[in-house]
Structure 1
Amino acid sequence: MITNTRKLLPVFTRQGMGVPLILVLLFVLLSVTSPHFLTVENLSNLLLQSVFVMVVAFGTMFVLTMGGIDLSVGSILGLCGGITGWLMMNGINMWFAILAGLALGTLIGIFNGILITKLRISPFLATFAMLYIARGLLLLFTIKEPIRNFATPAFKFIAQGKVFGIPMPVLITLVVFLLCYFLFTSTSFGRFVVAVGSNKEAAHLSGISTDSIKIRVYALSGLLAAGAGVLLTSRLTAVQPLMGTSYELDAIAAAVIGGTSMFGGKGSVVGVAIGAIILALVSNGLDLLAVNQFYRLIITGLIIVTAVGVERFTSSRTD
C-alpha cells in the first residue's frame, strides 16, 4: 500500500520522464515546422484547447485509479452545460443556474455510483447507459428551440475574460488542478482511491468502505464534467445537442497518456495535465500544418500509442 502511494506522481522522476519527453519533442517539432506555433496568440489558444478536456480528465483519473471507468462524462458535460444555459435563458439568476448545473452533474455521478455498487452493474454498462440517457435529455431540451441568447457579460467573462492577461478558463483550471492534486496526494480519500484500485478485497478487509469510495469518486467525476460543461457553455455562449461528444474518450486518453493505469492503483494529477496538453498540441499542430482531416485520427492514435509505450518502457526499466 505504501509503495503504491509513493508512485502516485512519477512525472518528473527518471521513472516517469516518458510523457514529458513526448511533450518536449512535439513542442520542438512544431516550433521548427510551423512559423506560427511560437506566437502568444497560438500558445494561448493551445492552453484554451486543453483546459476543457483537462478538467474532465481529472475526474476520469480518479475513476480509473479506483479501477472503474466512466463513459458518461461527455454527455454529462453537454447536459449540465445545457441546463445552465436553459435556466439562464428562462430568466434564472446566473449563479443559481451554474449551481444547478454542477449539482445535476454530481447527482448523476452519485446515481452511477449507486448503480455500480448497490445493483452490481458493471461500470462500463452503467456509465454507457448514462451516456445515452444524458444525451437524450439534452436532445429533448434543444429539439424545440436552440439554447442561445442567454449569456450575460458576467457569464461570458467566466470563459472569455482575462485576469492580468491570463484567460479565465486557464486560471479556473489551475485552481481545479491544485484542489485535485491536494485531494489525491494529501488526503485519506486519495489514499483510499489508490488502495481500492490496487486491491479491492484487501482495502475492504482493512476497513475501507469501498462502496462509499466508489460513489464519491463517481460523484467527483460528474461534478468535474459538469464544471467543464459550464465553462464550455460560457465559451460558446450557445448549447448544441452534440456538445461534449467524444470528451469521454479524450479524457481517458489524457489520463492514460499521463500515466494512469487502466487496471487501477496508479494515477497522476500532473500526468493528466500533461496528457491533455499533448492532445491539444497534436490537434493544434495538425491545424497549423494543414493536415488533411482524414489523417488526423490516425496520427493522433499513433501519438497516443507512442506516448503510452514510451512511458511504460521507461517505467519498466526502473521497476
Structure 2
Amino acid sequence: MIKKHIIEKNTVKKFDELGILIVMIALFIFLSIASPFFLKIENIQNLLLQSVFVMLVGFGMMFVLTIGGIDLSVGSILGYSGAVTGMIIASGGNIFLGILAGLGTGAAFGLANGLLITKLKIAPFLVTFAMQSVVRGILLLSTTNGAVSGFAAEEFTYLAQGYFLGLPIPVVITVIVFVILLFLFKFTSFGRNVTAIGSNREASFLSGVSCDKITIGVYMLSGLLAALSGILLAARLTAVQSEMGSGYEMDAIAAAVIGGTSMAGGKGSIIGAIIGAVILGMISNGLDLLSVNQFYRQIIVGAIIIIAVALERFTSLKKERV
C-alpha cells in the first residue's frame, strides 16, 4: 500500500514538472516570435545569467518549503554575504578566504534561523521576517559611506564574468550545485526526511527522525545557497549596494512554487525550481525586449504564485476526497 502511494506521488510530481515545462516552452516560443532579439546568443546567455542567481536561492527555498517552513531572510543574507566577501577582498585579503567568509556568513545566519525556530519554537515566518530586517540593517550600516567596492580582482570577477565551454561560469557552478542537491534530495536519508517531516512532522518524530537537526540543516543550506548567489552577484556587479538582494525572497518562493513545490510542505522538486527560475527570467527578459515597464513583472509574478498555490491546493483537496 505504501509502495503504491509512493508510486502515485512520484507520478503526480512528474506530471507537475511536465506541465510547467510545457508552460516554459510555450513562453519561449511566444517570445521568439514576439521579439527578433530573443533568440540571439547574447540574449540567451543574459537570460541564463538572470536566472541562475534566483535559481540558487530557489534551490534552498525548495528545501525550506518542502519541510513546511519559509525563509524570508534569503534576500538580505544574499546581499550581506556578498558584501562580506567584497570587504575582505577589498581590504587586501585572500580571495579564497573572502569567499569562505561569505559562505560562512550565510550558513551562520541560516543556523541562527534554524535554532530560533526549533529551540524557541517560534514560527518560521516571524523568525525569518525578523532576520530579514536584522541582516538588512547590518548591510545598511556596512554601506553607510557608499557601496562596497574595490574588490574587482580578475580572479574574483571571473567567477561571474568568465566562460567555460561557451557557458557563463555562474551557469556551470549552478549545474554542479544542482547535481549535488538532486543527489542529496532524492538519494539520501536527509532528503527523504525533509519530505517526510513536511508531510507529517509528528509521525516523522515518532519514527525516530531528528526533526530539529534536519530543520536546522535545511535553514543552514538555504543561507549557504543565498550566500553563494550573493557572492556570484557581487562578482558580476563588482559593487554591493545597500539594497542588493532585495526582493529575492519572493522570486525564490515563486521559482519553487511555480516548479511544483507545495507551500504546505511534503512536496518539492529541484528540477521544478530550475524551470520556475527560468520562467521568471524569461518574463523579465521578455518585458525588457518588448519595452514593457518592469513593474508589470511584480504583478505577473504575484498572480503566478496565487494561481500555482491555488492549483496545488485544488489538486490536494481532490486527492483527499478520493
State the TM-score, normalizing by the size of structure 2. 0.93
Contact 2:80 2:135 in 1 (8 A): yes
d(CA) in 2 for partners of 1:166, 1:117: 41
The whole-number CA distance in structure 2 between the counterparts of 1:260 and 1:175 is 21
Alignment partner of 1:33 is 2:34: yes
SS in 2 for 1:62: helix
Q: State the 1:312 CA deviation.
A: 6.9
Q: CA deviation at 1:304?
A: 4.4
How far apart, in 2, do the equivalents of 1:139 and 1:309 lie?
A: 37
Shift of 1:146: 2.7
What CA distance in whole angstroms lies between the structure 2 residues aligned with 1:72 and 1:296? 21
Task: Give the aligned partner of residue 299 of structure 2.
Answer: 298
Q: Which residue of the partner structure matches residue 224 of structure 1?
A: 225
Q: Unmatched 5+ residue regions in structure 1?
A: none
Question: For residues 156-235 of structure 1, what are the structure 2 equivalents within 5 Å?
Answer: 156-235=157-236
The offset of 1:91, in angstroms, is 1.0
Work out the number of aligned pairs and report it.
Answer: 318
User: C-alpha displacement at 1:126, in angstroms?
Assistant: 0.5
SS at match of 2:101: helix
Q: Report the alpha carbon displacement of residue 309 of structure 1 after superposing the two structures with TM.
A: 5.9
- Tell me the CA shift for residue 317 of structure 1: 8.4
Equivalent residue number for residue 140 of structure 1:
141
Q: Distance between the aligned counterparts of 1:90 and 1:40, measured in 2?
A: 37
1:205-233: CA deviation from partner (whole Å, max 9, x where unpaired): 00001011100100100100111111000
CA distance in structure 1 between the partners assigned to 2:113 and 2:306 by the alignment = 30
Structure 1 match to 2:103: 102
Q: Which amino acid aligns with 1:78?
A: G
Equivalent residues of 1:18, 1:311 under 8 A apart: no
Structure 2 CA distance for partners of 1:146 and 1:15, relative to 1, 3 Å:
closer
Q: Structure 1 residues 157, 111: closer, same or farther in 2, change over 3 A?
A: same
Counterpart AA for 1:223? L
CA shift for structure 1 position 10:
5.3
The aligned residue for residue 269 of structure 1 is 270
Letter in 2 for 1:133: V
State the AA in 2 paired with 1:270: I
Question: What's 1:121 paired with?
Answer: 122
In 1, the alpha carbon distance for the partners of 2:192 and 2:268 equals 11
What is the alpha-carbon distance in structure 1 between the residues aligned to residue 18 and residue 313 of structure 2?
10
SS in structure 2 at match of 1:147 = coil
Shift, 1:204, TM fit: 0.2
> Any conservation in 2 of the 1:15–1:315 contact (CA below 8 Å)?
no
User: What does 1:44-63 correspond to in 2, within 5 Å?
Assistant: 44-63=45-64
Indicate the larger mover: 272-281 or 16-25.
Answer: 16-25
| Aligned equivalents of 1:55, 1:305: Cα separation in 2 | 22
Change (3 A) 1:132 1:159: same
Aligned counterparts of 1:118 and 1:199: Cα–Cα separation in 2: 19
Q: Distance in 2 between matches of 1:269 and 1:294?
A: 28
- One-letter identity of the residue aligned with 1:128: F
User: Structure 2: 5+ residue runs without aligned partners?
Assistant: none
Residues 18 and 307 in structure 1, CA contact (< 8 A), matched pair in contact too: no
**Which segment is superposed worse, 15-24 or 282-291?**
15-24
Residue 60 of structure 1 contacts residue 251 of structure 1 at CA under 8 Å; is this kept in 2? yes
- Highest RCO, 1 vs 2 (Cα 8 Å, sep ≥ 6): 1
Letter in 2 for 1:248: E
CA distances 1:54-78 after superposition (whole Å, capped 9, x unpaired): 0001000000000000000000000
**Structure 1 residue 6: deviation in Å?**
6.9
TM-score, normalized by length of structure 1?
0.94
SS in 1 for 2:93: coil
Change (3 A) 1:196 1:317: closer
Residue 281 (structure 2) pairs with residue 260 (structure 1): no
AA aligned to 2:275 is I
Q: Counterparts of 1:5 and 1:213 in 2: how far apart (Å)?
A: 25
1:161-218 alpha-carbon deviations (Å, 9 max, x no partner) = 0012110000000001111100000000000000100000000000001011100100
C-alpha distance in structure 1 between counterparts of 2:150 and 2:16, whole Å: 50
Q: CA deviation at 1:151?
A: 1.6
How far apart, in 2, do the equivalents of 1:26 and 1:295 lie? 16
> How far does residue 149 in structure 1 lie from its aligned partner after superposition?
1.6
Give 1:16 deviation, angstroms.
3.9
State whether structure 2 residue 65 is matched by structure 1 residue 83: no
